[in-house]
Amino acid sequence: MDASITLPARDLLHTPPHIERRLLVLAGAFMGVNLLSLAIQRNFDPLIWWPFLAWILCAVGGQIMLTRLLPYRDPLLFPLMMFLAGWGLVLIERLEPQFADRQALWLLISVGVMLVTCSIPYLLRTLRAYRYTLLMLAIGLLVSTILLGVNPSGFGPALWLSVGGIYFQPSEALKIILVVFLASYLSEQYPSIRLKDLPRLTFIERHPWLSPRILGPILLMWGICVIVLIWQRDLGTAVLFFMIFIVLLYVASGVELIVACGGLLIGAAAVVAYRLFDVVQLRIDIWLDPWPEYDGRAFQIVQSLMAFGAGGIFGQGVGQGSPRYIPVVHSDFAFAALAEEWGFLGVIVVTACIAVLVMRGLRVALLHQERPFFALMAVGLSTLLAVQSLLIMGGVLKIMPLTGVTLPFLSYGGSSLLMSCILMGLLLRLSSEGRQP
């Protein structure tokens, strides 16, 4: 399989607006048909169309603004993002109709913030310049969550901060801040890691990635992950942070051993966490064999697998399945609900869309090979999207233990949607700058 990316000539990089528009129309048609199906089942309840109107506003407004702001952007990123976000709205309208309007409002806000992200001149350079400030902000958010965190549902891990009645999950912001910081830091260290023609006399000079300048951040990141794990019992975010860091370090250094070491560290951490933390032990136990506890601790994952079985190839149809047997289905198990109602075909489409987004993100990285910060930013953002998606998909499919992260754009959650849109805004900005002649 040759999955390498070849770059087109520069004069072909200008985004033809009609491609984006046609894709958006297709996405809108898909959403409209599904909502129509739901509306028929609910006696043509007019309220069902508010999320659709919000989506149309975002799609039309976003496309017009992006055409003005970023004429050289990647033409697939925004339509794919809107397609997934629209599907997510349909899912929430179907699963928890009372949350659909709120999610639609979050989409309006998120797309707005994404456009602001795209429109700020020198944003990327500014982020790079203030990386330590960002790091302090990240640590501050982390500490605030540890001290002041709450859970809107009144139970479970306290991963939210409440500001004026609005709940926000700081770990979502931390992900992007982490990528920015690491991309900035590693791009600065890039020459010393990569230049092979310098005289190398000492052990550290022969193995520059072992220098304190490189190893220091590794330990710092590992420490942050451990804190997240210990204090917040947030296994998913801890794994996500660490994997992003390992990937960025590998891409920056080109040393394969880092990946192996990272894998070993994750494995070691898993063994220790299994012995120390009940939540980790529970998740690993029910991952290994959920069936004996199908009606107890493993109820969620067993019902998730049954949802896949019920969906079959073509799915039960929107509103026709029974995904609500899965507790908290709209948040952690949106992928299983999607499998039940849209079937294996729906799973393929969503997985392929996310894979294409990741692929296009990495393609953006290749466009910026002369600018390591931009390249590492694109790699980090793409990795964030990929790893987060794979973690929740793998957990829902019993390939790996459940980690409790959201499926980007599809799961319910304002913080997740907002950060995913900011991520896309940064990728759009990077793609535009990379493709601009």
Residue 309: CB minimum distance to other proteins, A: 3
Stretch that binds other proteins, among 91-99, 204-212, 396-404, 415-423 (CB under 8 A): 396-404
Residue 305: CB minimum distance to other proteins, A: 5
Question: What are the contacts of 266-270 at 24+ separation with CB within 8 A?
Answer: 266/239, 266/242, 269/225, 269/226, 269/229, 269/242
Find the binding residues for other proteins in span 88-117 (CB under 8 A).
none
398 part of the interface to other proteins, by CB under 8 A: yes
Measured from the CB atom, the residue of 58 and 354 that comes closer to other proteins is 354
Residue 209: CB minimum distance to other proteins, A: 13
Find the binding residues for other proteins in span 236-255 (CB under 8 A).
247, 250-251, 254
Single residue of 135, 142, 358, 428 touching other proteins by CB under 8 A: 358
Stretch that binds other proteins, among 25-33, 260-268, 337-345, 423-431 (CB under 8 A): 337-345
Measured from the CB atom, the residue of 227 and 306 that comes closer to other proteins is 306
Structure tokens at 284: 């690993």
Measured from the CB atom, the residue of 232 and 388 that comes closer to other proteins is 388
Single residue of 139, 359, 433, 436 touching other proteins by CB under 8 A: 359
Single residue of 36, 355, 433, 436 touching other proteins by CB under 8 A: 355
Stretch that binds other proteins, among 140-148, 219-227, 232-240, 362-370 (CB under 8 A): 362-370
Single residue of 190, 222, 231, 274 touching other proteins by CB under 8 A: 190
Strand 161-163 and strand 166-168: pairing? antiparallel
Residue 152: CB minimum distance to other proteins, A: 27
Residue 424: CB minimum distance to other proteins, A: 17
Number of residues that bind other proteins (CB under 8 A): 56
**Three-state secondary structure string covering the chain:** CCCCCCCCCHHHCCCCHHHHHHHHHHHHHHHHHHHHHHHHHCCCCHHHHHHHHHHHHHHHHHHHHHHHHCCCCCCCHHHHHHHHHHHHHHHHHHHCHHHHHHHHHHHHHHHHHHHHHHHCCCHHHHHHHCHHHHHHHHHHHHHHHHHHCECCCCCCCCCEEEECCEEECHHHHHHHHHHHHHHHHHHHHHHHHHCCCCCCCCHHHHCHHHCHHHHHHHHHHHHHHHHHHHHHCCHHHHHHHHHHHHHHHHHHHCCHHHHHHHHHHHHHHHHHHHHHCHHHHHHHHHHHCCHHHCCCCCHHHHHHHHHHHHHCCCCCCCCCCCHHHCCCCCCCCHHHHHHHHHHHHHHHHHHHHHHHHHHHHHHHHHHCCCCHHHHHHHHHHHHHHHHHHHHHHHHHCCCCCCCCCCCCCCCCCHHHHHHHHHHHHHHHHHHHHHHCC
Binding mask 257-296 for other proteins (x = CB under 8 A): -------------------------------------xx-
Stretch that binds other proteins, among 91-99, 235-243, 276-284, 393-401 (CB under 8 A): 393-401
Structure tokens at 345: 């075909």
Burial of 322 (0-12, 13-18, 19+ CB in 10 A): middle
Single residue of 32, 57, 325, 433 touching other proteins by CB under 8 A: 325
Measured from the CB atom, the residue of 222 and 325 that comes closer to other proteins is 325
Measured from the CB atom, the residue of 402 and 418 that comes closer to other proteins is 402
Q: What does the alpha-carbon distance between residue 356 and residue 351 come to, in Å, rounded to a whole number? A: 9
Residue 194: CB minimum distance to other proteins, A: 5
Single residue of 305, 377, 407, 430 touching other proteins by CB under 8 A: 305
Residue 315: CB minimum distance to other proteins, A: 9
Measured from the CB atom, the residue of 161 and 318 that comes closer to other proteins is 318
202 part of the interface to other proteins, by CB under 8 A: no
Q: Per DSSP, what are the bridge partners of residue 432?
A: none
Residues that bind other proteins (CB under 8 A): 1, 3-5, 190-191, 194-195, 247, 250-251, 254, 294-295, 302-303, 305-306, 308-313, 316-317, 320-322, 325, 339, 343-344, 347-348, 351-352, 354-355, 358-359, 362, 365-366, 369, 372, 375, 379, 383, 386, 390, 393-394, 397-399
